[in-house]
Structure formats: C-alpha cells, structure tokens
Amino acid sequence: MRIRKLLAAAALAGTVATGALATAGTASASTIQYDCNSSQAMVCLYYNSSNYGYGAYFEQTGNISDYGTNTKFVAGHNGSSGAGTLVKNHAAAVDSWYSGTFTVYYNSGYENCSYACQPIPAWQTVDLNTTLKNNDAAGFFN
C-alpha cells in the first residue's frame, strides 16, 4: 500500500540521515528516489534497472497501447540516463503507485500474453524480467 511505501521511504531517509552523521559514505545505486508519488493512480517506467540506479522515468496514468508514440523518458530524482529516449523497447523497471495490477506487454495493442507480458503487483517496484527488459511495447492498468 502507499502508506507502506511512504513509511519505507521515511525509514530510509532516517537511516540515510543517521548514516550521514556517522560517515560520509555514498548512497547505493539501487536505492530508488520516488518520481511517482502523487495521490493519483500511476506507474513510473524507468530507463535502467535497480542495479543501474533507475535513471530517467516516464509517468503513466492511463492505458497506453503503443509506447512508440509521444512517450519519452525524462530526467528525474534518479538521474538523466535515458532522458529523451522513447519508452518503447527501452524500459527496465516499473514503480507502481496503483492499487491494482499493472501489466507490461511485449506487443503493442495489449496483445494477449501469448508471447510475453509481466504483471506488476500493486504498490511494488520491480525490474522487468529478461524477456521484457528493453522489449516493452504497451502498458495496461487492470
């Protein structure tokens, strides 16, 4: 749930602040700073996976049958890597701020999952599987 994400973010902020007082270490590249965090149901698709610090993002609030049209990553809290790139066939992770399941499809037009799709559970941040990473074409709020 959103409360769980917000509590986790607050706990992380407290941990980082405490750690900063003790030492001048650097933050982990896989720690996400939320770009999608409004009260509106949405997901963020990220250019990079968690291992590479997420990078630029695309905010999706409605169903999109083809990421190849007017859907570009923009720089955000996690950097600018991938900014300006079309989302289609370039997404590596999804951050869900939606109470239902969001599905990423390999084919445009929400084709059935006969080849590949990946359901993203409510309120989760996940890397796309090896079939869909950089092979995404559409996204649907179920």
Ordered structural domains, the chain, with CATH: 2-141 (2.60.20.10)
Q: pLDDT tens digits, residue range 5-19?
A: 555 445 444 444 444
Q: Which three-class secondary structure state does DSSP give residue 52?
A: helix
Q: pLDDT tens digits, residue range 31-56?
A: 778 888 777 899 999 999 999 999 99
The pTM for the full model equals: 0.78
Backbone dihedral angles phi then psi of residue 84, each to the nearest 5 degrees = 90, -10
Strands 42-46 and 57-60: antiparallel
What are the residue ranges in the chain where pLDDT is below 50? 2, 4, 8-9, 11-28
pLDDT at position 39: 72
Beta bridge partner(s), residue 83: none
Q: How far is CA 91 from CA 19, 25, 67, 71, in A?
A: 32, 29, 10, 11
In DSSP notation, 48-76 reads: S-GGGT--SEEEE-S-BS-TTSS-B-B-B
Tokens of 120: 């993203």
By the 8 A CB rule, do 127 and 49 touch?
yes
